């Protein structure tokens, strides 16, 4: 792997930047692999990276239907945080945040982590009491958070309209913030490829060849590939591939829309979410305003915006920040999220003996990429769930031992 550093930038600049090598290899699909990972998004690539780094397993292929990062990893609002209520969720999401905090050095790739603070506005006395309860609960789990006053909110976000939806204060996790989504995908792809993992793009899964209760080979658009173990991290298409493999998942697929404005000068230093409007907003390093709201209520595999959601989101943003009224919308999109009944992921074994799954993150998938990769890699390498993943197995829906983060945290995105 070519090392990235200040000195390498200087050396290549003096040579006219003609000596840079591709960040990852573009190999042909081999006839067989010890492990095949389905899905070339953040979770699939992180799984391959940690499988090679932590477990020494490098005869691995990552199969991606389109291009790496072309799914949800490239269609989100880049927010990271770990303010989840149940101790199991808190440990998992905080592992992800800690791994993100060290990822630039670990991957030798700048993922552009900006821990600018994740702020949820408080609009009523009831919300204030709920926020105080949340802060106390998070403290029990060792997660940083605090409640700040109305005056502090006004100093931190001076452009915010404090009267349209009255603001009593805000919940704040200072370690929360944003990351460049493409950089996460490219960093894990580069790290995995350097350790011998084959990343095969434009390789669609067409079917599974089974021997007993095991997957012996995978039929793809680029040919047949035999496999020892299979990992699946395909987000909104999890139920489709599970059905192809012969089992059902308690997963429904919904669209989560987002949009971005034209670049403007830096005016918003923090990520701000308003339960009163159902909208969240942050400003990128390039100056664009990234905006999003709640899930579409209908099931869909579309990856595009709709006028009603665009109108609702922009109207709410202008209520919060009237100064943005004249800003032009530059583009909008949608990701396909996999929603399960308790708003917590599904990790570990499946009814197929050698197939392990990572899905069900809903709207929290991007912020959990390093943890999801670590936990799935452990299952693929050992055949057992990671200790942090034991409560998130598929069998919890039979035993009714749910981890109901939808009710506990009131997750909005």
Three-state SS annotation for 78-99: CEECCCCCCHHHHHHHHHHHHH
pTM above 0.85, yes or no: yes
pLDDT of residue 2: 83
Classify the C-alpha dihedral 138-142-144-146 as positive or negative.
Answer: positive
Burial grade of 34 (CB within 10 A; 0-12, 13-18, 19 or more)? middle
What is the distance between the alpha carbons of residues 56 and 123, in angstroms, rounded to a whole number? Answer: 51
- Are the C-beta atoms of residues 181 and 189 closer than 8 Å to each other? no
pLDDT of the chain along its 413 residues, tens only? 788 999 999 998 988 988 888 999 999 999 999 999 999 999 999 999 999 999 999 999 999 999 999 999 999 999 999 999 899 999 999 999 999 999 999 999 999 999 999 999 999 999 999 999 999 999 999 999 999 999 999 999 999 999 888 999 999 999 999 999 999 999 999 999 999 999 999 999 999 999 999 999 999 999 999 999 999 999 999 999 999 999 999 999 999 999 999 999 999 999 999 988 889 999 999 999 999 988 888 888 888 888 889 999 999 999 999 999 999 999 999 999 999 999 999 999 999 999 999 999 998 899 999 999 999 999 999 999 999 999 999 999 989 888 888 765 545 44
Domains of the chain, first to last: 27-108+181-251+342-409 (3.50.50.60), 118-177+253-339 (3.30.9.10)
SS3 label, residue 82? coil
**Count of beta carbons in the 10 Å neighbourhood of residue 240:** 15
- Are the C-beta atoms of residues 94 and 81 closer than 8 Å to each other? no
Pairing between β-strand 271-274 and β-strand 118-122 as defined by DSSP bridges = parallel
Bridge partners (DSSP) listed for residue 129: none
What is the distance between the alpha carbons of residues 291 and 305, in angstroms, rounded to a whole number? Answer: 12
pLDDT of residue 407: 60
pLDDT of residue 296: 85
pLDDT of residue 408: 55
Residue showing tokens 């004249």: 326
What is the distance between the alpha carbons of residues 63 and 61, in angstroms, rounded to a whole number? Answer: 6
pLDDT of residue 412: 47
């Amino acid at each position: 792997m070519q090392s990235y550093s200040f000195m390498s930038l200087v050396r290549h600049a003096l040579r006219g930047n003609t000596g840079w090598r591709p960040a990852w290899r573009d190999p042909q699909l081999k006839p067989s692999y010890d492990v095949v990972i389905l899905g070339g998004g953040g979770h699939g690539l992180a799984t391959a990276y940690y499988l090679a780094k932590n477990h020494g397993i490098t005869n691995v292929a990552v199969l991606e239907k389109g291009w790496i990062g072309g799914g949800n990893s490239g269609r989100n609002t880049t927010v990271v945080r770990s303010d989840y209520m149940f101790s199991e969720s808190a440990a998992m999401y905080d592992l992800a945040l800690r791994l993100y905090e060290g990822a630039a050095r670990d991957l030798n790739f700048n993922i552009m982590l900006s821990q600018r603070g994740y702020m949820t506005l408080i609009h009523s006395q009831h919300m204030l009491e709920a926020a105080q309860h949340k802060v106390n609960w998070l403290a029990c789990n060792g997660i940083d958070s605090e409640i700040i006053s109305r005056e502090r909110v006004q100093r931190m976000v001076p452009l915010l309209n404090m009267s349209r939806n009255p603001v009593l204060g805000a919940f704040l996790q200072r370690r929360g913030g944003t990351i460049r989504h493409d950089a996460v995908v490219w960093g894990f792809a580069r790290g995995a490829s350097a350790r011998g993992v084959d990343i095969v793009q434009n390789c669609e899964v067409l079917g599974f060849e089974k021997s007993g209760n095991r997957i012996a080979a995978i039929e793809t658009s680029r040919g047949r590939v035999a496999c020892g173990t299979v990992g699946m991290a395909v987000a909104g298409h999890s139920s489709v591939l599970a059905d192809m493999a012969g089992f059902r998942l308690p997963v429904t697929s919904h669209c989560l829309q987002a949009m971005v404005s034209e670049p403007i000068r830096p005016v918003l230093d923090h990520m701000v979410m308003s339960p009163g409007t159902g909208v969240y907003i942050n400003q990128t390093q390039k100056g664009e305003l990234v905006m999003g709201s709640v899930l579409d209520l209908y099931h869909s595999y579309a990856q595009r915006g709709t006028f009603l959601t665009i109108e609702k989101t922009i109207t709410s943003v202008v209520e919060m920040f009237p100064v943005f009224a004249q800003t032009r919308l530059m583009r909008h999109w949608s990701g396909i999220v996999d929603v399960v009944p308790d708003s917590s992921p599904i990790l570990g074994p499946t009814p197929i003996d050698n197939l392990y799954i990572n899905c069900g993150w809903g709207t929290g998938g991007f912020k959990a990429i390093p943890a999801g990769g670590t936990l799935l890699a452990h299952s693929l390498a050992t055949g057992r769930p990671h200790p942090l993943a034991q409560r998130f197995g598929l069998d919890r829906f039979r035993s009714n031992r749910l981890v109901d983060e939808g009710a506990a945290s009131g997750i909005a995105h």
